[in-house]
Structure 1
Amino acid sequence: MALMITDECINCDVCEPECPNGAISQGDEIYVIDPNKCTECVGHFDTPQCIEVCPVDCIIKDPNHPETQDQLLEKFKKLTGS
């Protein structure tokens, strides 16, 4: 699954630079994650880096974008040209 940021986001700016795919950006009110770019850090790290650094635990799996580990790895390969 891609990840999503809930409305508990405090706009602390720590998640955006941690995303190796550039999937996180500032939205109208809170940060948002582009599900087309989010691989949950599969291919880069063992755990999603945005979740690791979020001080308010507002990043969760997006139920609207279910994906398997294999699908996330394929997305990583397409995004990186690997």
Structure 2
Amino acid sequence: MEWTPTWGFGLRFPEVEIRYQGRVANGTGRPGVVPEPRGGFELAGATARVASNILVAPTGPLTLGEVKVVTHQISLSVPIR
């Protein structure tokens, strides 16, 4: 599931206009493998797989990690006369 709340405001003066917009995208989408409790990964046989053209599947439960992307946008508008 993904959700994207946004917010913003604008200020208008006779000679300039300033706008701000913020956005945050929350959700899942970073695939990976659940880390082992000891915090390491098994590297046995890694050298044998380097020369191979076969992609080996992960050796643990798969997961989708949480992702948060925050965006800020500021604009300044000045009329050209």
Q: TM-score normalized by structure 1?
A: 0.20
Indicate the structure (1 or 2) with the bigger Cα radius of gyration: 2
User: Greater share of helix residues, 1 or 2?
Assistant: 1
